[in-house]
Amino acid sequence: MTTTLPVLVVGATGSLGGKVVDELLGRGKNVRALVRPTTDAGRLEKRGVEIARGDMLDLDSLVAAMTGADAVITTAAGYTRGGKNAHDIDTVGNANLAEAAHRSGIRRFVLTSILTSDRTPHVPHFWHKKIAEDKLEQLGVPFVALRPGAFLDQIATMAGNPIDKGRLIWMAKATVPLTFVRTSDLAAYLAAAVDADAANGERIDIGWDRPVSMREMADLMGKRAGRKIKVWAVPSVVVRAAGAVVGRFNPVVKDMAAMFGWFDTGRYVADTRRQEQLFGPVPTADDTLARYTDELRAVHHPQP
Protein backbone atom coordinates (compact mmCIF):
# COMPACT_ATOMS: atom_id res chain seq x y z
CA MET A 1 0.00 0.00 0.00
CA THR A 2 1.38 3.41 -0.98
CA THR A 3 0.83 6.23 1.50
CA THR A 4 2.90 9.06 2.88
CA LEU A 5 1.19 8.78 6.25
CA PRO A 6 3.64 7.54 8.89
CA VAL A 7 3.74 4.25 10.73
CA LEU A 8 3.89 4.86 14.48
CA VAL A 9 6.35 2.56 16.27
CA VAL A 10 5.82 2.07 20.00
CA GLY A 11 9.01 0.74 21.59
CA ALA A 12 11.31 2.23 18.94
CA THR A 13 14.16 2.84 21.39
CA GLY A 14 14.33 -0.86 22.28
CA SER A 15 16.27 -3.63 20.55
CA LEU A 16 13.36 -5.08 18.55
CA GLY A 17 11.69 -1.71 17.98
CA GLY A 18 14.90 -0.21 16.62
CA LYS A 19 15.14 -3.01 14.07
CA VAL A 20 11.49 -2.46 13.11
CA VAL A 21 12.31 1.20 12.41
CA ASP A 22 15.21 0.04 10.19
CA GLU A 23 12.90 -2.31 8.28
CA LEU A 24 10.22 0.32 7.76
CA LEU A 25 12.71 2.92 6.54
CA GLY A 26 14.18 0.31 4.20
CA ARG A 27 10.71 -0.18 2.74
CA GLY A 28 10.39 3.55 2.08
CA LYS A 29 7.90 4.14 4.89
CA ASN A 30 7.67 7.37 6.85
CA VAL A 31 8.18 6.54 10.51
CA ARG A 32 6.96 8.21 13.68
CA ALA A 33 8.20 6.98 17.05
CA LEU A 34 6.50 7.23 20.43
CA VAL A 35 9.25 8.30 22.83
CA ARG A 36 8.84 9.11 26.50
CA PRO A 37 9.49 12.76 27.45
CA THR A 38 12.72 11.96 29.32
CA THR A 39 14.22 9.61 26.68
CA ASP A 40 16.89 10.79 24.23
CA ALA A 41 15.55 10.47 20.69
CA GLY A 42 18.62 11.89 18.93
CA ARG A 43 19.54 8.69 17.07
CA LEU A 44 16.04 8.34 15.69
CA GLU A 45 15.82 12.00 14.70
CA LYS A 46 19.09 11.75 12.75
CA ARG A 47 17.50 9.04 10.63
CA GLY A 48 14.54 11.23 9.74
CA VAL A 49 12.13 9.63 12.20
CA GLU A 50 9.37 11.94 13.45
CA ILE A 51 9.19 11.99 17.26
CA ALA A 52 5.93 11.93 19.17
CA ARG A 53 6.48 12.52 22.87
CA GLY A 54 4.20 10.46 25.05
CA ASP A 55 3.75 7.54 27.39
CA MET A 56 1.72 4.33 27.28
CA LEU A 57 0.18 5.26 30.63
CA ASP A 58 -1.05 8.60 29.25
CA LEU A 59 -4.00 7.91 26.94
CA ASP A 60 -4.24 11.45 25.58
CA SER A 61 -0.59 11.37 24.50
CA LEU A 62 -1.24 8.12 22.61
CA VAL A 63 -4.23 9.57 20.79
CA ALA A 64 -2.11 12.55 19.79
CA ALA A 65 0.73 10.27 18.61
CA MET A 66 -1.62 8.14 16.50
CA THR A 67 -3.52 11.04 14.95
CA GLY A 68 -2.57 11.26 11.28
CA ALA A 69 -0.76 7.90 11.31
CA ASP A 70 -1.57 5.11 8.87
CA ALA A 71 -0.64 2.19 11.11
CA VAL A 72 0.85 1.30 14.49
CA ILE A 73 3.43 -1.34 15.40
CA THR A 74 4.02 -1.94 19.08
CA THR A 75 6.99 -3.91 20.40
CA ALA A 76 6.67 -2.50 23.93
CA ALA A 77 6.97 -5.06 26.73
CA GLY A 78 7.09 -4.02 30.35
CA TYR A 79 8.17 -7.49 31.51
CA THR A 80 11.25 -7.42 29.28
CA ARG A 81 12.20 -3.85 30.08
CA GLY A 82 11.63 -4.11 33.82
CA GLY A 83 11.25 -1.16 36.16
CA LYS A 84 8.51 -0.12 38.54
CA ASN A 85 5.93 0.41 35.79
CA ALA A 86 6.48 -2.95 34.09
CA HIS A 87 3.14 -4.47 35.12
CA ASP A 88 1.20 -1.30 34.33
CA ILE A 89 2.74 -1.09 30.85
CA ASP A 90 1.70 -4.66 30.05
CA THR A 91 -1.85 -4.12 31.35
CA VAL A 92 -3.00 -0.48 31.47
CA GLY A 93 -0.52 0.55 28.76
CA ASN A 94 -1.67 -2.02 26.23
CA ALA A 95 -5.32 -1.22 26.98
CA ASN A 96 -4.55 2.46 26.39
CA LEU A 97 -2.93 1.65 23.04
CA ALA A 98 -6.05 -0.21 21.96
CA GLU A 99 -8.33 2.63 23.07
CA ALA A 100 -6.17 5.24 21.33
CA ALA A 101 -6.17 3.19 18.10
CA HIS A 102 -9.95 2.93 18.33
CA ARG A 103 -10.35 6.68 18.81
CA SER A 104 -7.91 7.70 16.08
CA GLY A 105 -9.17 5.30 13.40
CA ILE A 106 -5.88 3.53 12.69
CA ARG A 107 -5.99 1.44 9.47
CA ARG A 108 -3.93 -1.40 10.95
CA PHE A 109 -2.51 -2.14 14.38
CA VAL A 110 0.32 -4.67 14.56
CA LEU A 111 0.79 -6.20 18.01
CA THR A 112 3.91 -8.09 19.08
CA SER A 113 2.27 -10.87 21.09
CA ILE A 114 3.74 -14.16 22.40
CA LEU A 115 3.47 -17.75 21.18
CA THR A 116 0.82 -19.77 23.10
CA SER A 117 -0.26 -16.66 25.05
CA ASP A 118 -3.87 -17.87 24.82
CA ARG A 119 -3.02 -21.12 26.62
CA THR A 120 -1.00 -19.79 29.53
CA PRO A 121 -3.07 -17.88 32.12
CA HIS A 122 -0.51 -19.06 34.69
CA VAL A 123 2.31 -17.11 32.93
CA PRO A 124 1.35 -13.46 33.57
CA HIS A 125 3.36 -11.72 30.85
CA PHE A 126 2.13 -14.24 28.27
CA TRP A 127 -1.48 -13.83 29.37
CA HIS A 128 -1.25 -10.03 29.28
CA LYS A 129 -0.58 -10.30 25.54
CA LYS A 130 -3.68 -12.45 25.09
CA ILE A 131 -5.69 -9.82 26.96
CA ALA A 132 -4.20 -7.12 24.71
CA GLU A 133 -5.30 -9.08 21.63
CA ASP A 134 -8.80 -9.43 23.03
CA LYS A 135 -9.02 -5.73 23.90
CA LEU A 136 -8.18 -4.75 20.33
CA GLU A 137 -10.83 -7.17 19.09
CA GLN A 138 -13.48 -5.93 21.52
CA LEU A 139 -12.94 -2.33 20.40
CA GLY A 140 -13.11 -3.26 16.73
CA VAL A 141 -9.55 -2.13 16.00
CA PRO A 142 -8.28 -3.66 12.72
CA PHE A 143 -5.27 -5.58 14.02
CA VAL A 144 -2.96 -8.50 13.43
CA ALA A 145 -0.98 -10.10 16.23
CA LEU A 146 2.33 -11.83 15.59
CA ARG A 147 3.09 -14.48 18.21
CA PRO A 148 6.84 -15.15 18.16
CA GLY A 149 8.67 -17.87 20.06
CA ALA A 150 11.60 -17.27 22.44
CA PHE A 151 14.17 -14.72 21.31
CA LEU A 152 17.35 -16.55 20.28
CA ASP A 153 19.47 -13.42 20.73
CA GLN A 154 18.44 -13.06 24.38
CA ILE A 155 18.45 -16.73 25.33
CA ALA A 156 21.82 -17.61 23.78
CA THR A 157 23.65 -14.74 25.47
CA MET A 158 22.26 -15.06 29.01
CA ALA A 159 25.72 -16.15 30.18
CA GLY A 160 27.65 -13.96 27.75
CA ASN A 161 28.86 -14.84 24.27
CA PRO A 162 28.53 -18.68 24.09
CA ILE A 163 31.39 -18.90 21.57
CA ASP A 164 33.63 -17.14 24.06
CA LYS A 165 32.31 -18.87 27.20
CA GLY A 166 31.72 -22.31 25.71
CA ARG A 167 28.34 -22.59 27.38
CA LEU A 168 24.65 -21.79 27.23
CA ILE A 169 22.60 -21.36 30.39
CA TRP A 170 19.04 -22.68 30.55
CA MET A 171 16.43 -22.86 33.31
CA ALA A 172 14.44 -25.79 32.01
CA LYS A 173 15.03 -29.24 30.52
CA ALA A 174 17.81 -29.05 27.92
CA THR A 175 16.26 -31.86 25.84
CA VAL A 176 12.77 -30.40 25.25
CA PRO A 177 12.38 -28.74 21.81
CA LEU A 178 10.73 -25.32 21.60
CA THR A 179 10.23 -22.53 19.07
CA PHE A 180 12.75 -19.72 18.73
CA VAL A 181 12.91 -16.58 16.61
CA ARG A 182 15.69 -14.24 15.58
CA THR A 183 15.00 -10.60 16.50
CA SER A 184 15.96 -9.29 13.06
CA ASP A 185 13.65 -11.80 11.34
CA LEU A 186 10.74 -10.85 13.60
CA ALA A 187 11.35 -7.15 12.92
CA ALA A 188 11.03 -7.81 9.18
CA TYR A 189 7.74 -9.65 9.69
CA LEU A 190 6.35 -6.87 11.90
CA ALA A 191 7.18 -4.27 9.25
CA ALA A 192 5.69 -6.44 6.51
CA ALA A 193 2.53 -7.01 8.57
CA VAL A 194 1.56 -3.34 8.10
CA ASP A 195 0.49 -4.14 4.52
CA ALA A 196 0.25 -7.94 4.58
CA ASP A 197 -2.85 -9.62 3.17
CA ALA A 198 -4.03 -10.74 6.58
CA ALA A 199 -7.55 -10.68 7.97
CA ASN A 200 -8.38 -8.39 10.87
CA GLY A 201 -7.93 -10.20 14.16
CA GLU A 202 -5.50 -12.81 12.88
CA ARG A 203 -3.08 -14.27 15.41
CA ILE A 204 -0.02 -15.58 13.57
CA ASP A 205 2.62 -17.88 15.07
CA ILE A 206 6.20 -16.93 14.21
CA GLY A 207 9.12 -19.36 14.37
CA TRP A 208 11.47 -21.64 12.45
CA ASP A 209 10.87 -24.73 10.36
CA ARG A 210 11.06 -26.86 13.52
CA PRO A 211 11.45 -26.54 17.29
CA VAL A 212 14.94 -26.99 18.74
CA SER A 213 16.11 -28.09 22.19
CA MET A 214 18.91 -26.25 23.97
CA ARG A 215 21.05 -29.38 23.67
CA GLU A 216 20.62 -29.39 19.89
CA MET A 217 21.24 -25.63 19.75
CA ALA A 218 24.52 -26.06 21.62
CA ASP A 219 25.55 -28.93 19.32
CA LEU A 220 24.75 -27.03 16.12
CA MET A 221 26.45 -23.82 17.26
CA GLY A 222 29.44 -25.73 18.58
CA LYS A 223 29.87 -27.65 15.34
CA ARG A 224 29.71 -24.40 13.37
CA ALA A 225 32.16 -22.64 15.69
CA GLY A 226 34.54 -25.59 15.87
CA ARG A 227 34.42 -25.81 19.65
CA LYS A 228 32.48 -27.60 22.36
CA ILE A 229 29.52 -25.68 23.79
CA LYS A 230 27.89 -27.07 26.91
CA VAL A 231 24.42 -26.44 28.32
CA TRP A 232 24.29 -25.50 31.99
CA ALA A 233 20.71 -26.42 32.82
CA VAL A 234 19.31 -25.36 36.16
CA PRO A 235 16.97 -28.18 37.32
CA SER A 236 13.27 -27.37 36.97
CA VAL A 237 12.66 -28.13 40.65
CA VAL A 238 15.17 -25.43 41.62
CA VAL A 239 13.57 -22.90 39.27
CA ARG A 240 10.10 -23.67 40.66
CA ALA A 241 11.33 -23.40 44.25
CA ALA A 242 12.96 -20.05 43.52
CA GLY A 243 9.77 -18.85 41.89
CA ALA A 244 7.71 -19.86 44.92
CA VAL A 245 10.03 -18.28 47.49
CA VAL A 246 11.41 -15.19 45.73
CA GLY A 247 8.17 -14.70 43.84
CA ARG A 248 6.48 -13.58 47.04
CA PHE A 249 8.67 -10.47 46.96
CA ASN A 250 9.41 -10.24 43.23
CA PRO A 251 6.52 -11.19 40.91
CA VAL A 252 8.85 -11.18 37.88
CA VAL A 253 10.75 -14.19 39.27
CA LYS A 254 7.51 -16.11 39.76
CA ASP A 255 6.45 -15.16 36.22
CA MET A 256 9.78 -16.32 34.79
CA ALA A 257 9.64 -19.63 36.67
CA ALA A 258 6.15 -20.25 35.28
CA MET A 259 7.41 -19.51 31.76
CA PHE A 260 10.25 -22.01 31.99
CA GLY A 261 7.84 -24.55 33.46
CA TRP A 262 5.67 -24.09 30.35
CA PHE A 263 8.71 -24.59 28.12
CA ASP A 264 9.23 -27.96 29.83
CA THR A 265 5.81 -29.19 28.66
CA GLY A 266 6.94 -29.34 25.03
CA ARG A 267 3.89 -27.33 23.94
CA TYR A 268 5.74 -24.07 23.19
CA VAL A 269 5.80 -24.87 19.47
CA ALA A 270 4.70 -22.68 16.54
CA ASP A 271 2.49 -23.66 13.64
CA THR A 272 4.29 -21.67 10.93
CA ARG A 273 1.97 -22.41 7.99
CA ARG A 274 0.32 -18.98 8.06
CA GLN A 275 3.70 -17.31 8.56
CA GLU A 276 4.89 -18.91 5.34
CA GLN A 277 1.77 -17.85 3.41
CA LEU A 278 2.12 -14.21 4.46
CA PHE A 279 5.86 -13.67 4.68
CA GLY A 280 7.52 -16.31 2.52
CA PRO A 281 9.78 -19.27 3.32
CA VAL A 282 10.13 -19.95 7.03
CA PRO A 283 13.74 -19.68 8.32
CA THR A 284 15.33 -23.05 8.98
CA ALA A 285 16.77 -23.73 12.41
CA ASP A 286 20.06 -24.93 10.93
CA ASP A 287 20.59 -21.89 8.70
CA THR A 288 19.56 -19.36 11.35
CA LEU A 289 21.83 -20.88 13.99
CA ALA A 290 24.71 -21.05 11.50
CA ARG A 291 24.36 -17.36 10.61
CA TYR A 292 23.97 -16.35 14.25
CA THR A 293 27.04 -18.38 15.25
CA ASP A 294 29.07 -16.68 12.52
CA GLU A 295 28.03 -13.27 13.88
CA LEU A 296 29.00 -14.24 17.42
CA ARG A 297 32.35 -15.54 16.15
CA ALA A 298 32.96 -12.20 14.42
CA VAL A 299 32.41 -10.48 17.77
CA HIS A 300 34.66 -13.02 19.50
CA HIS A 301 37.38 -12.74 16.82
CA PRO A 302 36.86 -9.38 15.08
CA GLN A 303 38.52 -8.91 11.70
CA PRO A 304 41.56 -6.59 11.79
Mean pLDDT for each 10-residue chunk of the chain (304 residues)?
88 93 96 92 92 93 96 83 65 91 97 97 94 96 98 92 93 95 97 97 98 97 96 76 58 84 96 98 98 88 51
Looking at residue 90, its pLDDT comes to 72
Answer for the pair 79, 125: CB distance below 8 angstroms, yes or no: yes
C-alpha distances in Å from residue 194, one per residue of 106, 145, 200:
11, 11, 11
The pLDDT assigned to 76 comes to 86
Please give the pLDDT value at position 234: 84
pTM recorded for the entire structure: 0.92
Give residue 80's pLDDT: 62
Backbone torsions φ then ψ of 44, nearest 5 degrees: -70, -45
Predicted local confidence at residue 244, as pLDDT: 59
Sequence-distant contacts of 87-91: CB under 8 A, at least 24 apart = 87/251, 88/57, 89/56, 89/57, 90/124, 90/125, 90/128, 90/129, 90/132, 91/128, 91/131
- Determine the pLDDT at residue 304: 46
